[in-house]
Amino acid sequence: MRYDVLDAPDFGLLRITLERAGERIVAESGAMVAMDAKIKTETSMRGGVLAAAKRKVLGGESLFQNTFIAEADQQRLFLAPAPEGDLRALQLAAGQQFFLQSGAYVAHVGEELKLDTQWGGVRSFFGGLGFFMLKLTGPGTVFYASYGAVHPVAVSGNYICDTGHIVGFGSELTYTIQKFGGYKGLFFSGEGLVCNFSGQGQLLLQTRNPASLVGFLNPYRRVQSRS
């Protein structure tokens, strides 16, 4: 199997080539763009009904995942995420752990890769990170997407970022949620709370924030008068 990413960072498209019959890749439902005809699709609630329901209800992932299996050599499969932006691969060594923002996951390769929905804690929720993140444990390759370009930061010491711009981070990093620019900043700065990461590891940021787009569009919605 080999892969390449086309049209990144603006409209990343993943091209997988399953070189041998029997090779497979698991993808988020709805990610398939196009594929050669000798690929079989199996739809399943991976890990069983309970694990799938947990992912759906808690993690914002979809209930079903599709497994694409080549039935002949040299079969191509194109995958794309929902938002405009980047798409990248993340190689995880055996035992290596990484956290992804729910919704960033696109596909993965590797039978041994573990995907689990992780309770982020109350501080994570109030910090805007959401209650749950997707916890990945290697070995395997994960393909993830972002809104806007992915900006990787090699954190060594501390680094501060807006919670809406986080795509994921390595488990070597720890973080605290803190207010931004004092109490006045909390209410008036427009930033509210920020994440302060510490340790040595990789932090992935996205150059646009979905909540900002929603905030821009909201005043343009029609107004329904109360009857």
| Pair 54, 117: CB distance under 8 Å | yes
CB of 106 to other proteins, least distance (A): 17
Q: x-or-dash pattern for other proteins, window 167-206, by CB under 8 A?
A: -------------xxx-xx--xxxx--x-x--------x-
Residue 90 vs residues 44, 57, 94, 99, 170: alpha-carbon distances, Å: 24, 25, 13, 11, 11
Interface with other proteins (CB under 8 A), residue from 95, 111, 154, 218: 218
CA angle 220, 188, 148 (to 5 degrees): 55
Q: How far is the CB of 173 from other proteins (least distance, A)?
A: 13
d(Cα 112, Cα 138) in Å, to the nearest integer?
7
As measured in angstroms, the least distance from the Cβ of 118 to other proteins is 23
CA atoms within 13 A on the CB side of 178: 13
Binding mask 50-89 for other proteins (x = CB under 8 A): ----------------------------------xx----
Pick from 89, 87, 114: nearest CA to 33: 87
Residues in contact with other proteins by CB under 8 A are: 9-10, 84-85, 148-149, 151, 153, 157-162, 165, 180-182, 184-185, 188-191, 194, 196, 205, 207-209, 212-213, 215-226
